[in-house]
């Protein structure tokens, strides 16, 4: 307990001998102070073992610097929020069939898994994508194992593939984006896939490298139905012959020169020309596998018929294959590569390794081919870290200036400021051992800790310095007495501040993961500063202050003025408390004007734009419209370059490529305003009036959450498709009315689909069944992959071969009905003889969340008061009286903000309770800590006023600032109340103890408050990415410290007097009776 730390000295006789320097070890041998305190023992041990402590200091400095250099660098902490994708292919199956037979069983198998949060699914033609989002902090490997085990016993249709399981990291964003140009797309594609991608993937820390826009050569075989009919050959026979021709046949082994050698029969079909001469078996002959090889010996049956070649019934050409995506750089064809790092990798190291590899690859590229770096995260990370480091350093300088101003002595200032680098560097040793990276949050913690870690040293130094000024003595006794007087207050204040940050460890979700490194940095720095104040500072005081002039005076001059103010306040306590209450109520009235938010947007110098056209739009049509978008982008001021990718999807989150989307990455100059340009570009794109096109434009972000910090999202759910469509349109309209821009309704859209229903009875009349008919129709509608022509060298790639029937009939409904079907007898009949061919509108995709059909309506909130906008949207939806079977779930920033505010609110309450309990243990009573807690409402006044004046919103960083204020404000009050308690135990009257303690503690309280304000001032004014945690946090702490410090000096003494007056009166009554 606090009272146990007090050391009562025995009365010592005066010494009149001349002063001389005595070594520390010998000067303490005759120490007659009470030795019952652990803290006293620490200080005494330090003064007796100077060399050992000095060595420890240098070890701490060296270890801290080494740890700082070893820590991986990244913009923000890596957040472990596993996302598991389960992709299943069901070729040619319509969305409803995929949803019923594949997606629903897969999603149901995941129900009940540990730590699972949400299961989203998309069912489209031939594809099922189920995305399982797990809680933040869950182990990625464990979640994959659980998902794999859950799917093992799953039964799917025979045509469906085995579900492919992959993981996506929360921060799996490219650390380097590259564009390759200067040659044909075929050559660029070959270089990207076979040279650059493997080379970059080999760089340590690189997880994957994706390639977009790459084209490759293939061989297209277009069958001529008329020629096939003349030669009595059908598509299945041609397909079989080609597949056999492209196979290699292992024949066994033989011995050559004493070594076993494998023997393989390989096709001689190695080009489009050789394929043209491939002999086919006519429909009147029996096929033979030997016919698979040009020049082979046909069977006897084959000799009886006239063998025809592939060239007689088909056109065989080698050309560029249609790419899934189209990529352009500044309007010119290019291939883009995105480099993704592994989890917990050092972003700067990996990105620099990639850039070195690119420099080496430049020497291997053909003449004219070159790289263009679109984005390099190493640059932005380094700039952000350097910016925050500069602000922390500037804060430290301002804190030093404050201390020097109050002490007026260079040596004393040096003693105090040693705590800053030493405490911070010692904390780096612990953070590095814990595997925490050097990011904006750890650096922010350092910047915040700068003002706080020096507090302990200031209080310690000021106590000793004041004793020297009042007594004129500089011996070790003076140092120990000064340390003894404040040691308990330093310990209590350090414990309470640590208690304040402890609840952050209990905060779950993104906020907890995001701010935990921040809290760790502050806590470990505080613990280090406690040891520095009690063990290092006494040595430095003895070394630096044993010589030099220190003005001797009995009381600090401003303390006399404060003494009169405090005496007046104690006589007019009702007026003082009433004034404080009015100020508090007035500040609370500002809350509606301040507004709320989640996290500030950190706009990088770039824009991300997307265009979505109606489902079913071809890649060529989407590409044509993207050219108009590019023209608008070129006219935008501040654009340095832009990259276009036509054909969306194919990402880690959804591997299904969509031909109706295009994305645009726009790089801006450093002087551009991304927020303003995003609005301008969105308005100009909407002015294009592209039919049924929706656009989304957001500023780039270095934060993992990206633009989600201002995204409004409403999930509309219903099992009734009509009500779902109506409700989603209503919600979209209401969101627009509330000022949300770029509103999109991601309800599953529909597009025309031809349905062929085989009439089994009619088909059997011609000797056919559904499988026969489907097999004959497929070549008319799909490119059939029939094999590959082997690569002709180690540096080349195999050439794919595709087969398709060319028919103009397949381009209309009437033409489809007349497609020829070959019967068992060899005659042909139109398709409509055996099947009904109709056209109808069907859903292109079926989206569900937790097995409920869902339409996601989202948009961008441009207002800084995100909380008000989301609240207005919720109220407008409630007033709309949607159908009873429609449910609304607020997602996006609304959901994240609600969860974060609730958890941080609980953390603040928990911190207050913990601080009170710690102080009760320290003081050994409950009334003194209660008086100290009255300093907290005083901090709210300045904090809210600061947010209002600076137009900052009440978001997560501001709430963290309020949490910090609890520890900082209480610290100053503890320093004051601690001395009041000491004076009262020494027999001083209540009012006299309060006034004497206040005048004595005025200087350290002002010094610590102003030093903390000085340290945080650069963060409050910072203009770089650090604003995500610095601006509003620093404003809250600075504003709260200003008002709480001024009011604490009068309000806390008044509350202490009120709470202890009765006890004091009882004490005096007992004395009178005695």
Interior angle at CA 729, CA 727 and CA 732, nearest 5: 110
Highest mean pLDDT among 452-466, 807-821, 1042-1056: 1042-1056
CA 396 to chain centre: 29
Domain boundary pick from 672, 701, 730? 701
Question: What is d(CA 214, CA 209) in angstroms, rounded to the nearest whole number?
Answer: 13
Residue 284 — very low, low, confident or very high, per pLDDT cuts 50/70/90?
very low
Helix (H) or strand (E) holding 964: helix 956-985
- Whole-angstrom CA distances from 495 to 219, 874, 911, 1018 are 75, 42, 12, 27
Residue 302: per-residue pLDDT: 42
Measured in degrees and rounded to the nearest 5, phi and psi for residue 595 equal 80, 165
Best CA proximity match to 977, nearest among 458, 480, 488, 567? 488
Best CA proximity match to 929, nearest among 981, 880, 878, 998? 981
Question: To the nearest whole number, what is the mean pLDDT of the chain?
Answer: 80
Question: What is d(CA 891, CA 900) in angstroms, rounded to the nearest whole number?
Answer: 13
Question: What is d(CA 185, CA 180) in angstroms, rounded to the nearest whole number?
Answer: 10
Q: Are residues 165 and 230 in the same domain?
A: no
Task: Establish if 29 belongs to a structural domain.
Answer: no
Other beta carbons within 10 Å of 29: 8
Q: Are residues 562 and 633 in the same domain?
A: no
Q: Are residues 655 and 760 in the same domain?
A: no
Q: What is the pLDDT of residues 46-59, one digit of tens each?
A: 878 888 988 999 99
Domain boundary pick from 797, 827, 843? 843
The domain of 241 spans: 217-251+262-320+752-843
Q: Are the CB atoms for 336 and 211 separated by under 8 Å?
A: yes
Q: Which domain CATH number covers 762?
A: 3.30.2090.10
Q: Are the CB atoms for 98 and 461 separated by under 8 Å?
A: no
Q: What is the DSSP string of 20-34?
A: ----HHHHTTT--S-
Task: Establish if 667 belongs to a structural domain.
Answer: yes
Mean pLDDT of 384-407: 80
Per DSSP (E only), the strands in 489-533 are: none
Interior angle at CA 815, CA 810 and CA 817, nearest 5: 105
Q: Are residues 1074 and 953 in the same domain?
A: yes
Residue 603: per-residue pLDDT: 63
Q: What is the pLDDT of residues 625-652, one digit of tens each?
A: 999 999 999 999 989 999 999 986 555 4
Q: Minimum mean pLDDT among 199-213, 246-260, 331-345, 699-713: which range?
A: 699-713
Check whether 457 has a pLDDT greater than 50: yes
What letter would DSSP give residue 934?
T
Number of domains in the chain: 4
Q: Which domain CATH number covers 633?
A: 3.30.70.1430
Reduced to 3 states (helix: H, G, I; strand: E, B; else coil), residue 837 is strand
Residue 808: per-residue pLDDT: 59
Helix (H) or strand (E) holding 230: helix 225-230
Strand partners, 755: 838
CA 689 to chain centre: 35
Q: Are residues 944 and 1062 in the same domain?
A: yes
Q: Are the CB atoms for 540 and 418 separated by under 8 Å?
A: yes
Task: Establish if 901 belongs to a structural domain.
Answer: no
Residue 656: per-residue pLDDT: 61
- Burial status of residue 110 (CB atoms within 10 A of its CB: 0-12, 13-18, 19 or more): buried
Q: Are residues 285 and 222 in the same domain?
A: yes
Q: Are the CB atoms for 566 and 1049 separated by under 8 Å?
A: yes
**Strand 658-668 vs strand 603-612: parallel, antiparallel, or unpaired?**
antiparallel
Question: What is d(CA 932, CA 909) in angstroms, rounded to the nearest whole number?
Answer: 16
What letter would DSSP give residue 766?
T
Question: What is d(CA 952, CA 320) in angstroms, rounded to the nearest whole number?
Answer: 56
Task: Establish if 350 belongs to a structural domain.
Answer: no
Residue 419: how many CA atoms within 13 Å on its side-chain side? Answer: 39
90: tokens are 């069901």
236: tokens are 């299945």
Task: Establish if 934 belongs to a structural domain.
Answer: yes
Residue 5 — very low, low, confident or very high, per pLDDT cuts 50/70/90?
very low
Q: Are the CB atoms for 395 and 1018 separated by under 8 Å?
A: yes
- Burial status of residue 797 (CB atoms within 10 A of its CB: 0-12, 13-18, 19 or more): middle
Q: Are the CB atoms for 819 and 831 separated by under 8 Å?
A: yes
Q: Minimum mean pLDDT among 373-377, 415-419, 642-646: which range?
A: 415-419
Check whether 701 has a pLDDT greater than 70: no
Mean pLDDT of 652-659: 61
Residue 624 — very low, low, confident or very high, per pLDDT cuts 50/70/90?
very high
Highest mean pLDDT among 409-418, 622-631, 751-760: 622-631
Looking up tokens 């009619």, which residue turns up?
A: 762
Residue 21: per-residue pLDDT: 42
Domain boundary pick from 823, 843, 863? 843
Residue 286: per-residue pLDDT: 40
Q: What is the pLDDT of residues 675-684, one digit of tens each?
A: 889 889 999 9
Mean pLDDT of 186-197: 85
Residue 1027: per-residue pLDDT: 52
Q: What is the pLDDT of residues 859-883, one digit of tens each?
A: 888 777 788 888 889 889 888 888 8
Q: What is the DSSP string of 327-376?
A: EEETTEE-EEEEEEEPTT--HHHHHHHHHHHHHHHHTTSPTT-EEEEEEE
Q: What percent of the chain has pLDDT over 90?
A: 9
Task: Establish if 625 belongs to a structural domain.
Answer: yes
Residue 18 — very low, low, confident or very high, per pLDDT cuts 50/70/90?
very low
Residue 437: per-residue pLDDT: 84
Mean pLDDT of 426-442: 88
Strand partners, 954: 596
Check whether 293 has a pLDDT greater than 50: no
Mean pLDDT of 283-302: 39
Task: Establish if 939 belongs to a structural domain.
Answer: yes
Q: Are residues 567 and 627 in the same domain?
A: no
Task: Establish if 11 belongs to a structural domain.
Answer: no
Q: Are residues 640 and 568 in the same domain?
A: no
Q: What percent of the chain has pLDDT over 70?
A: 85
Q: What is the pLDDT of residues 968-1021, one digit of tens each?
A: 888 888 888 888 888 888 888 888 888 888 888 888 888 888 888 888 888 888
Residue 923: how many CA atoms within 13 Å on its side-chain side? Answer: 26
Check whether 143 has a pLDDT greater than 90: no
Measured in degrees and rounded to the nearest 5, phi and psi for residue 556 equal -65, 130
User: Which ranges in 654-741 belong to alpha helices (H)?
Assistant: 674-686, 721-737
Question: What is d(CA 485, CA 508) in angstroms, rounded to the nearest whole number?
Answer: 40
Helices H / strands E in the chain, number of each: 37, 31
Residues 6+ apart with CB under 8 A from 65: 425
Q: Are residues 1064 and 931 in the same domain?
A: yes
689-692's contacts with Cβ under 8 Å and 24+ in sequence apart are 690/611, 690/613, 690/625, 690/628, 692/613, 692/614
Q: Minimum mean pLDDT among 138-142, 148-152, 418-422, 680-684: which range?
A: 138-142
Q: Are residues 1056 and 1001 in the same domain?
A: yes
Measured in degrees and rounded to the nearest 5, phi and psi for residue 448 equal -70, -40
CA 268 to chain centre: 54
Looking up tokens 């700039």, which residue turns up?
A: 383
Question: What is d(CA 122, CA 101) in angstroms, rounded to the nearest whole number?
Answer: 13
Question: What is d(CA 53, CA 543) in angstroms, rounded to the nearest whole number?
Answer: 13
Q: Are residues 1071 and 977 in the same domain?
A: yes
Question: What is d(CA 522, CA 518) in angstroms, rounded to the nearest whole number?
Answer: 7
User: Which ranges in 408-439 belong to alpha helices (H)?
Assistant: 410-417, 419-433
Q: Are residues 971 and 1019 in the same domain?
A: yes
């Amino acid at each position: 307990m606090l009272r146990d730390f007090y050391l009562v000295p025995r009365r010592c006789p005066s010494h009149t001998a001349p002063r001389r320097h005595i070594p520390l070890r010998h000067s303490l041998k005759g120490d007659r102070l009470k030795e019952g305190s652990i803290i006293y023992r620490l200080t005494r041990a330090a003064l007796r073992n100077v060399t050992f402590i000095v060595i420890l200091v240098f070890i701490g400095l060296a270890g801290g610097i080494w740890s700082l250099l070893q820590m991986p660098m990244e913009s923000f902490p890596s957040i472990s929020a596993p996302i598991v994708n389960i992709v299943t292919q069901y070729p040619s199956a319509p969305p409803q069939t995929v949803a019923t037979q594949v997606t629903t069983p897969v999603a149901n198998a995941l129900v009940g898994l540990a730590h699972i949060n949400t299961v989203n699914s998309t069912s489209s033609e031939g594809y099922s994508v189920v995305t399982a989002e797990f809680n933040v902090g869950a182990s990625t490997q464990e979640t994959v194992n659980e998902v794999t085990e859950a799917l093992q016993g799953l039964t799917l249709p025979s045509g469906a593939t085995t579900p492919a399981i992959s993981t996506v990291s929360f921060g799996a964003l490219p650390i380097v984006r590259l564009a390759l140009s200067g040659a044909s797309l075929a050559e660029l594609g070959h270089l990207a896939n076979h040279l650059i991608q493997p080379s970059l993937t080999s760089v340590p820390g690189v997880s994957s490298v994706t390639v977009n826009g790459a084209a490759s050569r293939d061989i297209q075989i277009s069958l001529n139905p008329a020629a096939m009919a003349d030669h009595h050959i059908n598509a299945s026979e041609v397909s079989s012959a080609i597949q056999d021709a492209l196979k290699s046949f292992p024949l066994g082994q033989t011995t050559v020169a004493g070594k076993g050698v494998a023997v393989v029969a390989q096709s001689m079909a190695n080009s489009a020309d050789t394929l043209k001469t491939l002999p086919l078996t006519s429909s009147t002959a029996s096929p033979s596998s030997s016919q698979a090889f040009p020049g082979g010996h046909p069977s006897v049956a084959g000799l009886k018929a006239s063998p025809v070649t592939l060239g007689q019934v088909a056109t065989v050409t080698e050309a560029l294959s249609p790419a899934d995506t189209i990529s352009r750089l500044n309007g010119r064809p290019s291939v883009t590569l995105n480099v993704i790092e592994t989890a917990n990798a050092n972003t700067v190291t990996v990105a620099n390794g990639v850039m070195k590899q690119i420099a080496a690859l430049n020497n291997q590229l053909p003449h004219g081919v070159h790289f263009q770096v679109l984005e390099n995260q190493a640059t932005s990370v380094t700039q952000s870290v350097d910016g925050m480091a500069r602000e922390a350093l500037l804060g430290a300088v301002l804190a030093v200036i404050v201390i020097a101003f109050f002490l007026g002595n260079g040596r004393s200032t040096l003693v105090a400021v040693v705590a800053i680098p030493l405490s911070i560097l010692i904390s780096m040793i612990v953070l590095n051992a814990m595997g925490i990276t050097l990011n904006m949050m750890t650096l922010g913690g350092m910047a915040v800790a700068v003002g706080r870690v020096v507090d302990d040293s200031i209080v310690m130094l000021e106590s000793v310095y004041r004793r020297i000024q009042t007594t004129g003595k500089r011996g070790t006794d003076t140092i120990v007495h000064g340390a003894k007087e404040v040691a308990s207050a330093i310990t209590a204040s350090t414990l309470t501040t640590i208690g304040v940050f402890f609840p952050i460890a209990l905060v779950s979700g993104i906020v907890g993961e995001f701010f935990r490194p921040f809290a760790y940095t502050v806590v470990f720095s505080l613990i280090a500063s406690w040891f520095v104040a009690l063990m290092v500072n006494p040595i430095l005081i003895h070394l630096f202050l044993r010589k030099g002039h220190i003005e001797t005076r009995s009381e600090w001059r401003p303390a006399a003025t404060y003494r009169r103010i405090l005496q007046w306040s104690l006589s007019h306590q009702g007026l003082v408390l009433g004034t404080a209450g009015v100020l508090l109520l007035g500040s609370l009235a500002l809350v509606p004007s301040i507004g709320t938010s989640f996290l500030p947007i950190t706009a990088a110098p770039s824009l991300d734009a997307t265009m979505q056209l109606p489902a079913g739009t071809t890649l060529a049509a989407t590409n044509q419209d993207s050219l108009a978008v590019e023209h608008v982008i070129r006219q935008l001021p501040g654009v340095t370059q832009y990259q276009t990718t036509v054909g969306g999807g194919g990402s880690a989150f959804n591997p299904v490529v969509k031909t109706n989307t295009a994305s645009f990455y726009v790089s801006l100059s450093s002087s551009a305003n991304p927020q303003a340009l995003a609005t301008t570009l969105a308005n100009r794109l909407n002015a294009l009036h592209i039919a049924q096109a929706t656009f989304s434009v957001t500023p780039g972000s270095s934060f993992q959450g990206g633009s989600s910090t201002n995204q409004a999202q409403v999930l509309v759910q219903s099992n009734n498709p009509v009500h779902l469509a109506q409700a989603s349109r209503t919600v979209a309209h209401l969101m627009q009315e509330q000022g949300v821009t770029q509103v999109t309704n991601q309800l599953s859209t529909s597009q025309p689909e031809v349905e062929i229903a085989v009439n089994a009875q009619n088909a059997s009349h011609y000797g056919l069944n559904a499988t026969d008919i489907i097999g004959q129709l497929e070549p008319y509608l799909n490119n059939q992959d029939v094999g590959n022509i082997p690569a002709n060298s180690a540096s080349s790639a195999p050439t794919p071969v595709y087969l398709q029937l060319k028919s103009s009939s397949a381009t209309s409904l009437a033409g489809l009905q007349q497609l020829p079907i070959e019967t068992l007898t060899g005659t042909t009949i139109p398709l409509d003889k055996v099947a009904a061919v109709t056209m109808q509108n069907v859903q292109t995709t079926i989206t569900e969340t937790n097995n409920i059909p869902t339409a996601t309506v989202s948009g961008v909130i441009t207002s800084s008061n995100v909380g008000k906008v989301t609240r207005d949207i919720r109220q407008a939806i409630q007033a709309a009286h949607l159908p009873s079977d429609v449910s609304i779930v607020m997602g996006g920033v609304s959901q994240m903000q609600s969860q974060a505010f609730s958890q941080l609110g609980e953390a603040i309450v928990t911190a207050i309770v913990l601080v009170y309990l710690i102080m009760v243990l320290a003081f050994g009573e409950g009334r003194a800590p209660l008086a100290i807690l009255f300093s907290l409402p005083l901090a709210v006044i300045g904090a809210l006023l600061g947010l209002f004046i600076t137009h900052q919103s009440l978001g997560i960083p501001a709430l963290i600032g309020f949490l910090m204020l609890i520890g900082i404000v209480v610290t100053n009050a503890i320093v004051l109340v601690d001395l009041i308690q000491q004076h009262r135990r020494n027999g001083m009257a209540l009012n006299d103890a309060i006034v004497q303690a206040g005048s004595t503690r005025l200087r350290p309280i002002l010094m610590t408050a102003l030093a903390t304000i000085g340290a945080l001032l650069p963060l409050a004014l910072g203009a770089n990415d650090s604003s995500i945690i610095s601006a509003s946090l620093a404003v809250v702490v600075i504003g709260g410290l200003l008002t709480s410090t001024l009011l604490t000096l009068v309000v806390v003494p008044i509350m202490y007097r009120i709470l202890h007056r009765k006890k004091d009166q009882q004490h005096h009554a007992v004395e009178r009776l005695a």
